[in-house]
Amino acid sequence: VSRVVNDEGGFGVETKARVLAAIDQLGYRPNLLARALITRRSGTIALVGPDLTDPFFAELADSVQRVLRTNGRTLFFASNDHDVKRQTDVLESLRSHAAEGVILFPAEGSSASLAATARSGLPVVLIDNDFRGPWIGSVISELTLGAEAAVEHLVSRGRRTIGMAANVASITADIPARREHGYRRALHRAGFVPRPELVAYGPPTIEGGRAAVDELLARHCDLDAVFAYNDIMAVGALQSLARAGRRVPDDVAVVGFNDIAICAALLPALTTVRINREVVAKEAMDLLLRIADRPNDTHPTVSVAVELIVRASS
Amino acid sequence: VSRVVNDEGGFGVETKARVLAAIDQLGYRPNLLARALITRRSGTIALVGPDLTDPFFAELADSVQRVLRTNGRTLFFASNDHDVKRQTDVLESLRSHAAEGVILFPAEGSSASLAATARSGLPVVLIDNDFRGPWIGSVISELTLGAEAAVEHLVSRGRRTIGMAANVASITADIPARREHGYRRALHRAGFVPRPELVAYGPPTIEGGRAAVDELLARHCDLDAVFAYNDIMAVGALQSLARAGRRVPDDVAVVGFNDIAICAALLPALTTVRINREVVAKEAMDLLLRIADRPNDTHPTVSVAVELIVRASS
DNA sequence: CTGAAAGCGCTTACAG
DNA sequence: CTGAAAGCGCTTACAG
């Protein structure tokens, strides 16, 4: 039966027919758990990030799931709630479930725990975070270039006082703040002196974006542009600006990051930097397979291009 | 070792210490696949719906995941793309993975395939769809009452020509169109004669909502309110109205359904009917357990209350 | 309280 | 080409 089910050859045509008939009649389906026990392939991959409710994360899950469909695997989905302890628990649980790999947006301050993970025998691909070690690889979108393109675009539109609604996690984080980097670099190149008071911080949520822009408005009444860490912070920015009676884009231009589906439908439609989630998902899966194959090699970080999408908000 | 790990008693205190020390030293974690093989409990639950990118679905996934956290289970996540064939494949794969149950937003036209599923030995809880059979149960939000409340609210605000942007799936579907039902009932009760041309259909997406409202505007220049199948269709409605130069809510009021996170941050903030996703997730999980326990009982459908949230768009 | 045996449902050499 | 045996990592009676 096993040889027929897996089509390994070494059986007669008549035997095959009998086996298939029985399978059909009994509604037999192979038990993947038992199979995994011996083949060491569970057929499962996990996606783990800080917040399942961020539409970008859901959209990435969709892309990952489409990739898995092509190779017959099933997706685990979990959040770490920006918490290193939870993340450790989740990764350990996934290891117990024998996941073949996990695609991870690491919680802030994960470095130490990731170093430990690196010995666990669970392939991990980090998204937008560089970290080297056995069993670990990275896929990184060109966030710095994307941020530069966004800010250059604002400068070219004649904006002078360009604020940023940044992710509060980047203050303490072991994680490089690529978007802030790009923001500063572009301002510098355009001949502006980046002013620290033009960067306000908040959690990467709608509310966080609103609060950050409230703060920027309180500090600078001449604010004429906002570059946000991600699209949902940009949504919060739009809300803050509307409450303050500033028109977008006439008074203040807004640019987001990620290009979630709603961007194009907002009023005004949101200019943003598109992350190519299909490519990120595909590259992450491929890298996971390479790591599983040669865990102790150092696998080069995969870089994925981004694209500025200009819409009405700027 | 097994008895210590599962704390079953029947071992000496010194033995326990030795076992725990070894576990600690070796980094031992139980293999849940092997355990599941014998206990018949895999520790996994699945959430399956038509479209992972709908923020409501992601938010529900978040709620389900929080419930699972309390009982130590892990979440599978998959989409059926509104396709019965895909749904069958997904359910079969989940059965092979020995999922302990699946929470399912069924694809349109699933009845026949669900009847077959009912013999598969995989507990299934349907969301917002009634279907009876062994291994199957339902959790249904009060969609009809919610729709009635929404339309009554519009009537009470003096709206006269209230259109609906409905889900195209409800035309052919074996699925009762509860929201349309409530819409008609409320109009009727208010003394209006429901006019079929006031209902336009589209897929349950931003684009679908935009197209449906484009159509309503073409048919009725006196349209003064739109009730949408869900929030993302309502976002499309806002977009359509803006393009047509209609102000919201001055010219046309808009009401959505679900209360996804972005509703409160839209401009204008979107009036909607809130689905209590924490309760839905909790009830679905509980029902799954009851079905696993007594698969051949007929389990009563669980009903969950909804709530009208009035915001600026109406 | 401890240890060895059987078995969950598979795959994979190995004999015939 | 076919069949029986061993083993993946667990749990669960059963003997001692």
Residue B143 and residue B182 in contact, taking contact as beta carbons nearer than 8 Å:
yes
Q: What local confidence, expressed as pLDDT, does residue A159 receive?
A: 97
pLDDT band at B258 (very low <50, low <70, confident <90, very high): very high
Q: What local confidence, expressed as pLDDT, does residue A34 receive?
A: 97
Sign of the four-CA dihedral B286, B258, B75, B89:
positive
Tell me which of A166-180, B125-139, B237-251 is least confident: A166-180
B278, B284, B290, B296: CA torsion to nearest 10: 170
pLDDT tens for each residue of A130-150: 888 999 999 999 999 999 999
pLDDT tens for each residue of B155-167: 999 999 999 999 9
The DSSP annotation for A250-275 comes to TT-EEE-SB--GGGGGSSSPPBEEEE
pLDDT of B86 higher than 70? yes
Query: How many Cβ atoms sit within 10 Å of the Cβ of residue B1?
Result: 14
The DSSP annotation for chain B comes to -HHHHTT-S-S-HHHHHHHHHHHHHHT----HHHHHHHHS---EEEEEES-TTSHHHHHHHHHHHHHHHHHT-EEEEEE-TT-HHHHHHHHHHHHHTT-S-EEE-PPTT-HHHHHHHTTTT--EEEES----STTEEEEEE-HHHHHHHHHHHHHHTT---EEEEEETHHHH-SS--HHHHHHHHHHHHTT----GGGEEEE-SSHHHHHHHHHHHHHH-TT--EEEESSHHHHHHHHHHHHHTT--TTTT-EEE-SB--GGGGGSSSPPBEEEE-HHHHHHHHHHHHHHHHHSTTS-PPPEEE-EEEE--TT-
pTM of the model: 0.96
A63 CB-contact burial (10 Å; exposed 0-12 / middle 13-18 / buried 19+):
buried
Chain A residues with CB under 8 Å of B78 CB are 65, 74-75
pLDDT band at B172 (very low <50, low <70, confident <90, very high): confident
Interface membership of A34 toward B (CB under 8 Å): yes
Q: Estimate in Å the CA B38 to C1' D14 gap, whole number.
A: 18
pLDDT of A242 higher than 90? yes
Q: What local confidence, expressed as pLDDT, does residue B116 receive?
A: 81
Chain A residues with CB under 8 Å of B29 CB are 92, 95-96
Contact A265 B98 (CB under 8 A): no
pLDDT tens for each residue of B267-309: 999 999 999 999 999 999 999 999 999 999 999 999 999 999 9
* Strand C CB-contacts below 7 Å: A 1-3, 5-6, 8, 28-31, 34-35, 37-39; B 3, 9-12, 14-15, 34, 37-38
Q: What local confidence, expressed as pLDDT, does residue A166 receive?
A: 97
pLDDT band at A8 (very low <50, low <70, confident <90, very high): confident
Mean pLDDT score, B78-82: 96
Considering only CB atoms, B261 lies closest to which of A33, A37, A206, namely: A206
Q: What average pLDDT does chain A have?
A: 95
Contact B52 A43 (CB under 8 A): no
pLDDT of A113 higher than 90? no
Interface membership of B265 toward A (CB under 8 Å): yes
pLDDT of B176 higher than 90? no
Residue A254 and residue A271 in contact, taking contact as beta carbons nearer than 8 Å:
yes
Tell me which of A5-9, B178-182, B283-287 is least confident: A5-9
Q: Estimate in Å the CA B3 to C1' C4 gap, whole number.
A: 15
Q: Estimate in Å the CA B38 to C1' D8 gap, whole number.
A: 13
The residue ranking higher by pLDDT, B18 or B305, is B305
Residue nearest to nucleotide D3 (CA to C1'): A1
| CA nearest to A311, candidates A278, A251, A262 | A262
Chain B residues with CB under 8 Å of A92 CB are 29
Q: Estimate in Å the CA A14 to C1' C15 gap, whole number.
A: 23
Please report the residues numbered 51 through 80 in chain A whose beta carbons come closer than 8 angstroms to any beta carbon of chain B: 51-55, 57-59, 61-62, 65, 74-79
> What single DSSP character describes residue A198?
G
What type of residue is B122? Answer: L
Q: What average pLDDT does chain B have?
A: 95
Residue nearest to nucleotide D2 (CA to C1'): A11
Does residue B268 have a cis peptide bond before it, meaning omega lies within 30 degrees of 0?
yes
- Name the nucleotide with the smallest C1'–CA separation from B29: D9
pLDDT band at B115 (very low <50, low <70, confident <90, very high): confident
A306-309 and A272-275: which strand pairing? antiparallel
Q: Whole-angstrom Cα distance, residue A241 to residue A32?
A: 53
- The token pair at B56 is 């409501």
Query: How many Cβ atoms sit within 10 Å of the Cβ of residue A236?
Result: 25
Q: What local confidence, expressed as pLDDT, does residue A173 receive?
A: 65
pLDDT tens for each residue of B25-72: 888 999 999 999 999 999 999 999 999 999 999 999 999 999 999 999
pLDDT of A28 higher than 70? yes
- Name the nucleotide with the smallest C1'–CA separation from B10: C1
Q: Estimate in Å the CA B16 to C1' C5 gap, whole number.
A: 22
Q: What local confidence, expressed as pLDDT, does residue B173 receive?
A: 65
Exposure string for A105-135, b = 16+ CB within 10 A, e = fewer:
bbbbbbeebbeebbebebbbbbbbbebebbb
Residue nearest to nucleotide D9 (CA to C1'): B34
Strand spans (E) along A20-95: 44-49, 74-79
Q: Measure the N-to-C terminal CA separation of chain B; round to a whole number of Å.
A: 64
pLDDT tens for each residue of A248-283: 999 999 999 999 999 999 999 999 999 999 999 999
Considering only CB atoms, A96 lies closest to which of B32, B53, B119, namely: B32
Considering only CB atoms, A77 lies closest to which of B29, B32, B77, namely: B77
pLDDT of A1 higher than 90? no
Q: What local confidence, expressed as pLDDT, does residue A122 receive?
A: 95
Distance from CA of A188 to the nearest CA of B (A): 33
